[in-house]
């Protein structure tokens, strides 16, 4: 057996001659150079076809340019070439984890444009479905974030198990798990039966227990804390200036929730709190979402208890031959990822003259580079995970 | 929130040279907007952000609108003097009027601090061809960065003072601006020039240019 000499390397194998391979000195000519790494577009950590061109000094990110558009199909042009109603199923495909809130944001904008009102039962149904969407989105996000941290399998599978329960409810109501196409201008497409509401009640009753279990597994977890605390700090000033919205803004300590600020729908009737973060790091973004789910459960309990009976469509609303008068409207709601808004211009024809989607993931991505600078590549992955993007919405 | 008229009057007092006009919105949403001139656009935006009574600290939505040149035909009644002492005649004449085309950029501002909004700003380019430069508002609100890039990409508005004005959704080599109303889709999106095309063009130089010898008579017989 050859003893390993300093500066040389040999296989401890009796058959082989001493190896000619040498360990390279640290002071090699490449030391100190920057390295450009292209992560994606086909990389499991980028949540879809998304590319980050990271410039690294050793393992530290010194520049990071996001590249996207791989899923671009010019959603806005499609919207301009079809009637108002025909765009409704397309909105499902924006953020495909949250089709109910996409539908609602679009319906709200058209209602503003055409001056339609929504019956009370439909408003309750919208709130119930939007809060369920928030539950499933945040549950999935926690699973994906842990997957990004390298905790492969368990949290994501637990999250998907609960998500399927909500999607089953969506399917029994709208006919589709994810592409719900449920809201209409001035109401909803189909009414929820008593049995459906009972099933929703039992789901809500059991969800708290799942959250307890999930939090016991994750929230106090030492590895999760070590990986996420102090990573990707976002100051409140930058967050507001960069138009960051949703849980990410609130994790930076800015009390801005459109359910409270705009009070759209019937949200002012409901009693709920808005959780805020202290530091604006990845852990706070995770924690704010966990707390938000508890508040969503509280809203769901109130809504399912108080939902009145009655019509679900505005009698003035008409689906066929719908032509709003000339004008424009911008409507926005608090989606699970942030402010989702639709800007519509009507010229009196059956198609919108301009149809614009303000996607929360797209605007939240603006500050990705600022968050990643000075962190390692592995941290850049979880920072991207904590922003919570869906490429269907970023690329449109 | 203060009325749009009072905001406009205050802005006119602060910026005496600026041209600011109200754009009315006839729809039930009643979201009226302010049209700014491009020279003072950024100064006005900065003031809107920093003024303690307004504090529009976030720009939520940035988007472009394409208004192509519009031809409208109007019927105008013209009096024609009667011939040989007859009374004047009223004749209807059709007059073509061309409304010049332009690109418009719309900004939806909100105040997170004072919980007010939206304040809608509009900026218009001179035309749709060569005078398409507008001031970038990215130095004022960071949220404009990607959204202005998108407007540049899909509409072709050039934002002066933007730190990184590149295409964002389409690829860099793409020609044209797909959200314009007169954009024509290519027949084949997949087509792209390959080195093979250049090689083929070079090779064609060596092809024989002499006309081929006429076909033999036997073949003609077969064809008949």
In-domain check, residue B19:
yes
> Chain B: residue nearest A250 by CA?
B112
Pairwise CA distance, residues B154 & B152, whole Å: 6
Please list, residue by residue across B157-196, b when 16 or more beta carbons sit within 10 angstroms of its beta carbon and e when fewer do. Answer: bbbeebeebebbbbeeeeeebbbbeebeeeeeeeeeeeee
> Chain B: residue nearest A115 by CA?
B28
Report pLDDT digits (tens) over A28-45: 666 667 888 888 788 777
Report pLDDT digits (tens) over A257-269: 999 998 888 999 9
In-domain check, residue B80:
no
Query: Does A243 contact B60 at a Cβ distance shorter than 8 Å?
Result: yes
A238 near B CB under 8 A = yes
- Which of B29, B141, B154 has the CB atom closest to A327's CB atom? B29
Write down the ipTM of this complex. Answer: 0.84
Q: What six digits make up the tokens of A37?
A: 């790494």
The pLDDT mean for chain A works out to 86
| Cα A309 → chain centroid | 32
A112 near B CB under 8 A = yes
pTM recorded for the entire structure: 0.83
**Contacts with A327 from chain B: Cβ below 8 Å:** 25-29
In-domain check, residue B126:
yes
Task: Find the radius of gyration of the CA atoms of chain B.
Answer: 29
- Extents of the domains making up chain A: 67-395
Interfacial residues of B (vs A; Cβ cutoff 8 Å): 25-29, 31, 57-61, 63, 65, 106, 108, 112-113, 115, 118, 120, 141-143, 145-147, 154, 167-171, 178-179
Query: Does B58 contact A240 at a Cβ distance shorter than 8 Å?
Result: yes
Query: Does B142 contact A238 at a Cβ distance shorter than 8 Å?
Result: yes
Q: Which domain holds residue B107?
A: 4-67+102-184
Report pLDDT digits (tens) over B57-89: 999 999 999 998 888 788 888 877 777 777 777
- Which of B145, B167, B178 has the CB atom closest to A366's CB atom? B145
Most confident of A13-22, A248-257, B183-192, B215-224: A248-257
**Mutate which of B23, B112, B137 to disrupt the A interface (most A C-beta within 10 Å)?**
B112
In-domain check, residue B148:
yes
CA distance A346 to chain B (A): 9
CATH number at residue B124: 3.30.460.80
The pLDDT mean for chain B works out to 84
Which pLDDT band holds residue A321 (cuts at 50, 70, 90)? confident
> Chain A: residue nearest B117 by CA?
A262
pLDDT at A199 over 90: yes
Q: Where are the alpha helices (DSSP H) in A70-153?
A: 75-80, 88-92, 99-114, 120-149
CA distance A287 to chain B (A): 22
A289 near B CB under 8 A = no
Which pLDDT band holds residue A122 (cuts at 50, 70, 90)? very high
Query: Does A241 contact B65 at a Cβ distance shorter than 8 Å?
Result: no
> Chain B: residue nearest A363 by CA?
B143
Q: What is the pLDDT of residue A23?
A: 56
Architecture in CATH for domain A67-395? Orthogonal Bundle (1.10)
Q: Decide: A111 and A186 in contact? Cβ < 8 Å.
A: yes
Which stretches does DSSP call E strand in B170-219? none
Q: What is the DSSP string of A177-246?
A: SS----EETTEESSPPPHHHHHHHHHHHHHHHHHHHHHHHHHTT-HHHHHHHTTSS---HHHHHHTT--T
Which pLDDT band holds residue A13 (cuts at 50, 70, 90)? very low
Report pLDDT digits (tens) over B10-26: 888 888 888 888 888 88
In-domain check, residue B24:
yes
């Amino acid at each position: 057996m050859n003893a390993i000499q300093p500066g040389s390397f040999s296989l401890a194998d009796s058959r082989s001659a001493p190896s000619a391979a040498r360990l390279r000195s640290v002071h090699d000519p490449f030391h100190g150079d920057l390295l450009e790494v292209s992560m994606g577009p086909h990389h499991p950590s980028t949540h879809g076809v998304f590319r980050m061109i990271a410039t690294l000094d050793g393992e530290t990110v010194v520049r990071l340019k996001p590249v996207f558009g791989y899923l671009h199909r010019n959603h806005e042009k499609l919207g301009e070439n079809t009637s108002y109603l025909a765009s409704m199923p397309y909105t499902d495909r924006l953020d495909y984890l949250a089709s109910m809130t996409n539908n609602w944001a679009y319906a709200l904008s058209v209602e503003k444009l055409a001056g339609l009102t929504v019956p009370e039962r439909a408003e309750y149904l919208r709130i119930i479905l939007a809060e369920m969407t928030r539950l499933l989105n945040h549950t999935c996000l926690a699973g994906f974030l842990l997957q990004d941290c390298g905790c492969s399998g368990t949290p994501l599978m637990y999250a998907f198990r609960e998500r399927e329960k909500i999607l089953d409810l969506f399917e029994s109501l709208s006919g589709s798990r994810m592409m719900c196409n449920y809201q209409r201008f001035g109401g909803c497409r189909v009414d929820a039966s008593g049995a459906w509401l009972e099933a929703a009640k039992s789901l809500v009753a059991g969800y708290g227990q799942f959250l307890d279990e999930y939090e016991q597994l994750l929230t106090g977890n030492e590895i999760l804390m070590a990986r996420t605390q102090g990573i990707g700090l976002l100051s409140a000033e930058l967050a507001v200036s960069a138009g960051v919205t949703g849980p990410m803004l609130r994790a930076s300590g800015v009390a801005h929730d459109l359910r409270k600020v705009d009070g759209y729908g019937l949200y002012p009737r409901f009693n709920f709190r808005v959780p805020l973060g202290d530091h604006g790091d990845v852990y706070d973004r995770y924690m704010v979402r966990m707390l938000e789910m508890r508040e969503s459960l509280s809203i769901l309990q109130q809504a399912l208890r108080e939902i009145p009976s009655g019509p679900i469509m505005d009698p003035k609303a008409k689906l066929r031959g719908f032509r709003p008068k000339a004008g424009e409207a911008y409507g926005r709601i608090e989606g699970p990822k942030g402010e989702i808004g639709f800007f519509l211009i009507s010229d009196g024809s059956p198609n919108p003259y301009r149809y614009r989607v303000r996607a929360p993931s797209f605007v939240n991505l603006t500050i990705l580079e600022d968050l990643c600078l000075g962190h390692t590549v592995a941290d850049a992955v979880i920072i991207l995970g904590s922003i919570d993007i869906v490429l269907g919405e970023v690329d449109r | 929130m203060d009325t749009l008229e009072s905001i406009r009057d205050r802005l006119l007092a602060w910026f005496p040279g600026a041209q600011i006009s109200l754009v009315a919105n006839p729809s039930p949403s009643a979201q009226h907007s302010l049209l700014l001139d491009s020279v003072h656009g950024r100064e006005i935006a900065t003031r809107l952000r920093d003024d303690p009574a307004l504090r529009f600290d976030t720009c939520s939505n940035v988007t472009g609108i394409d208004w192509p040149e519009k031809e409208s035909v109007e019927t105008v009644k013209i009096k024609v003097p009667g011939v040989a002492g007859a009374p004047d005649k009223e004749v209807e004449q059709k007059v073509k009027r061309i409304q010049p085309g332009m690109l418009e950029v719309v900004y939806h501002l909100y105040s997170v601090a004072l919980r007010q909004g939206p304040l809608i700003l509009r900026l218009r380019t001179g035309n749709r061809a060569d005078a398409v430069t507008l001031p970038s508002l990215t130095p004022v609100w960071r949220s404009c960065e990607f959204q202005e890039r998108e407007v540049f990409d899909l509409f072709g508005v050039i934002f002066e003072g933007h730190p990184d004005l590149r295409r964002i959704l389409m690829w860099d080599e793409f020609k044209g601006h797909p959200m314009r109303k007169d954009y024509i889709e290519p027949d084949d999106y997949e087509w792209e020039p390959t080195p093979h095309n250049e090689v083929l063009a070079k090779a064609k130089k060596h092809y024989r240019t002499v006309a081929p010898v006429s076909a033999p008579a036997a073949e003609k017989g077969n064809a008949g």
